[in-house]
Amino acid sequence: MAAVHLSEAEKVYIIHGVRDDLRLDGRGCEDYRHMEIETDVVSNTDGSAKISLGHTDVLVGIKAEIGKPKPLVPNEGYLEFFVDCSANATPEFEGRGGEDLGVELSNTLYKVFNNRLSVDLRSLCISPGEHCWVLYVDVLLLQCDGNLFDAMSIAIKAALFNTRISKVQLSENEEGGKEIELSDDPYDCMRLDVENVPCIVTLCKIGHRHVVDATLQEKACSVASVLISVTHRGTVTCVRKMGKGSLDPESIFEMTEAGKRVGKSLHAPLMRLLQEEESLGQKRQKVGFLG
Amino acid sequence: MAAEMRLPAVHKFISLPTTSQSQDDKQLVVPGEVITSDTGFMRGHGTYMDEDRLTASVAGEVERVNKLICVKPLKTRFNGEVGDVIVGRVTEVQQKRWKVESNSRLDSVLLLSSVNLPGGELRRRSAEDELAMRDYLQEGDLISAEVQSIFSDGALSLHTRSLKYGKLGQGVLVQVSPSLVKRQKTHFHNLLCGASIILGNNGYVWLYPTPDQQDEEAGGYFTSLEPVSLSDREVISRLRNCLLALSAHKVLLYDTSVLYCYESSLSHQIKDILKPEVMEEIVLETRQRLIEHEC
């Protein structure tokens, strides 16, 4: 990822700031930057969302296609993730530069989201063993300013909320084969239950404390971070340690607790916002990318 | 703990009535706009000839010097001039020179012979000095320097042969567009609010706690790693957010504008300054005060 270079003195300044619970931009250790979320920004997807968190910009688009269920779980649909690191975000992503990061990000997203506890995968089934909906979740990084995972997970949750899948009916034709019939009414569609979709909280260990929503500068001062995905009830669904440094058990416990607390508190404002946006309907002036 | 989420709002730019004379003499152009179809003019930077019409290739302000027409772009890399004060970051240590990232098109060069080494100004640079270069400045270190000369390829040669320049210690770097920094007699300010600022001409602004005594400098290469007090930190963080607010609204940066912005931000919490509506309010107040100050 886009690395920033800092001098020793700058790092010391940041570390002491975290110790005093006053970060460079005046935030406390558990504060997020200002977030702006908009859904339904790409018209040719089934669901989309754009989030900007500080200067991190992420666009998520979801396309539903009919596919074959996996043999092990014949009565469930599934999700596919692809993360595209645009060279707009940083010149290092040009060519194949962002590929490794993209694969790493999409693998993590797959682990966090593609299970029946997060998304009701059964509702994606059309006919067991034969047809199911496959949700292709495409994430595009437009700008990187740290904390990609949290931004991506929130955008994915918003995009899943925004996703509308057309209703289909199965009918049998004369030869006994099955036919899929698409409803004529474009507004006759199914929505996903996003209640249990988790949000990811990344906690960076800086000095003896940890912070959420680290900027690139803060990331440069931290040796290890813990990624925790938390549902609205506070259930932890996935934990991953990232970075080269080591963490002692005590601080892992502390970070998990803090992650749970912060993660739990992300869901309520997000759902409120999504509901509010939906209630505004067509009246709302779309901002999109040039606002 | 707080997570602020909201819908993006359409940004409206409010323009204040500016003094009439400053508005008249500015010709602003966008790329592709015809500046003049009169063939009597010479083509300068930021322009091209489109079938005998002089056309702008960048967005910015038109500058005329006799027959020469240039367009000075609003958003640009740093075009250094001799005497400019800059803040830069060392990216490489080479033979007898440091490479310094300074927001210009090419990395700037700081020669070993144009720095003040500890222990007297007039000293021959020996082979030992060359070997110990990394002890003075290493990769990632921030320095303040002055542009000494410009090479033929446009790269800048820097010098730090004054006690006010040299390695920078603890503080915060804010990066803004170089065209937002106003050229002034001095770019080093000890602000009244309790922090100091270096407004680099290259758009890199360094905020640091005001040093206690001015004479300590052990050749400028000693940096204190003592914790900065919380009150100083608060001032620096507030100033940082104010600078970002001013640059988001394209207000020229100089000591007065920064100080006015700081004062009008005092009614808000530090972290709230970066919210769009608070930012707008503060900047509007600052601009208002600057206009009153002008009259």
pLDDT tens digit sequence for A131-174: 899 999 999 999 888 889 999 999 999 999 999 998 888 887 77
Exposed e or buried b for every residue in A132-155, given b needs 16+ CB within 10 A? Answer: bbbbbbbbbbbbbbbbbbbbbbbb
Q: What percent of chain A has pLDDT over 90?
A: 47
Task: Give the Cα separation of B186 and B184 in Å (integer).
Answer: 5
Cβ contact A227:A45 at 8 Å = no
- Asked if the Cβ–Cβ distance from A32 to B11 is below 8 Å, we say no
pLDDT recorded at residue A154: 94
**DSSP secondary structure string, B113-151?**
EEEPPSS-SS----HHHHHTHHHHS-TT-EEEEEEEEE-
Look up the pTM and report it: 0.89
Closest chain A residue to the Cα of B137, Cα to Cα = A7
Q: Which residue is it, tokens 């707080």? A: B2
Per-residue confidence (pLDDT) for residue B268, from 0 to 100: 92
Separation CA B135–CA B93 (nearest Å): 11
Q: How far apart are CA B157 and CA A30, in angstroms?
A: 44
Q: How confident is the model at residue A1 (pLDDT cuts 50, 70, 90)?
A: low
- Cα A55 from Cα B248, distance rounded (Å): 12
| Cross-strand pairs, B99 | B92, B109
Domain limits of chain A?
Answer: 8-283
CATH 2.40.50.100 applies to domain B26-73: yes
Q: End-to-end distance of chain B based on CA atoms, in angstroms?
A: 45
Q: Count the Cβ atoms, other than its own, within 10 Å of residue B146.
A: 21
What letter represents residue B152's amino acid?
S
| A8-283 is a CATH 3.30.230.70 domain | yes
If pLDDT is split at 50, 70 and 90, which confidence band does A119 have?
confident
Distance from CA of B278 to the nearest CA of A (A): 12
Bridge partners of residue B198, in order along the sequence: B188, B206
Helix (H) or strand (E) holding A79: strand A78-85
Collect all residues of chain B within an 8 Å Cβ-Cβ radius of residue A20. Answer: 230, 233
What does the pLDDT look like over A4-52, one tens digit per residue?
888 889 999 999 999 999 999 999 998 999 899 999 888 899 999 999 9
Question: Distance (Å, rounded) from C-alpha B199 to C-alpha B203?
Answer: 7
Does the predicted interface ipTM exceed a cut of 0.95? Answer: no
State how far the alpha carbon of A105 is from the alpha carbons of A84, A120, A125, A185, A202, in Å.
10, 22, 26, 37, 13
Q: Which residue has the tokens 């920004």?
A: A41
The rounded mean pLDDT for chain A is: 88
| CB pair distance less than 8 Å for A291 and B228 | no
A3 contacts chain B (CB < 8 A)? no
pLDDT at A13: 93
Q: Which residue type occupies A28?
A: G
Dihedral over alpha carbons A156, A229, A222, A244 (to 10 degrees): -100
The 3-state DSSP class for residue A145 equals coil
Per-residue pLDDT reduced to its tens digit, A100-110: 889 989 999 99
Given a cut of 70, whether residue A2 has pLDDT beyond it is no
Chain B CA closest to residue A258? B1
The two three-digit tokens of residue B122, written as one number: 């007039």
Confidence of residue A59 (pLDDT cuts 50, 70, 90): very high
Identify whether the C-beta of residue A136 lies closer than 8 Å to the C-beta of residue A62.
yes
Strands A78-85, A56-67: pairing kind: unpaired
Q: Do B3 and A266 touch (CB under 8 A)?
A: yes
Handedness of CA A160, A62, A38, A111 (dihedral sign): positive
Q: What is the 3-state secondary structure (H, E, C) of B180-214?
A: HECCCCCCEEECCCCEEEEECCCCEEEEEECCCCC
Q: Which tokens in the block code for residue A288?
A: 């999109």
Tokens describing residue B34: 């015809």
Q: What is d(CA A287, CA A289) in angstroms, rounded to the nearest whole number?
A: 6
pLDDT band at A199; cut points 50, 70, 90: very high
Amino acid B122: pLDDT? 64
Interacting residues of A148 by C-beta distance below 8 A, sequence separation 6+: A1, A56, A58, A105, A141
Chain B residues in contact with A36 (beta carbon < 8 A) = 5-8
Report yes or no: B135 and B89 within 8 Å, Cβ to Cβ: no
Q: How confident is the prediction along chain B (295 residues), in pLDDT tens digits per residue?
A: 567 788 887 766 666 665 545 555 688 899 999 998 888 899 999 999 988 899 999 999 899 999 999 998 888 899 989 999 999 999 999 998 999 999 999 999 999 988 887 766 566 777 888 888 888 899 999 999 999 999 999 999 999 988 888 899 899 999 999 999 999 999 999 998 889 999 999 999 999 998 876 555 555 666 777 888 899 999 999 999 999 999 999 899 999 999 999 999 999 999 899 888 899 999 999 999 998 888 7
Instruction: Answer whether A8 sits within 8 Å of B271, measured CB to CB.
Output: no
Best of A4, A8, A11, A13 to disrupt the B interface (most B CBs within 10 Å) is A13
Question: Which among A153, A187, A234, A214 has a CA at the least distance from the CA of A4?
Answer: A214
Confidence of residue A177 (pLDDT cuts 50, 70, 90): confident
